[in-house]
Amino acid sequence: MATTTYFVKKLGVTSVAQFGAVIGMIIGTVKGIIVALNIAPSSAITADVVLGVSSGIMTFCINVVFGFFLGFLAGAVIAFIYNLAPWGETGGIKVELEAR
């Protein structure tokens, strides 16, 4: 089958930002779980289990929310910068598509 090469001239800022937000939320969830599991054993040392558990839950939530917002912001900035670049001289993102 024949493949056709295309170059991406512009990216949708909101669509790239939404994709970045989802990726950031996934990374924030994993990071939040890891940090929350590291906080829980330290609460056993201090004998204040309620404080340790609530700190772990709060840390998890903060990581997910910050991951979402920072991923959204990073995706929007990347797409905005990509759209500003003069791709006529330098190329761009090369995509090869195959017809089926």
> How do residues 15-62 score in pLDDT, each as one tens digit?
999 999 999 999 999 999 998 888 766 666 666 666 777 778 888 999
In angstroms, the CA 23 to CA 31 distance is: 12
Q: Which has more pLDDT, 97 or 1?
A: 97
Judge whether 75 and 25 are in contact, CB under 8 Å.
no
| Residue 87 pLDDT greater than 80, yes or no | no
SS3 for 91?
Answer: coil
The tokens for 72 are: 């959204």
User: What's the pLDDT at 43?
Assistant: 63
Quote the pTM value: 0.78
Q: What is the pLDDT of residues 52-83, one digit of tens each?
A: 777 788 889 999 999 999 999 999 999 999 88
Q: Give first-to-last CA distance, the chain, whole Å.
A: 8
Measured from the Cβ of residue 12, the count of other Cβ atoms closer than 10 Å reads 11
CB of 32 closer than 8 Å to CB of 60: yes
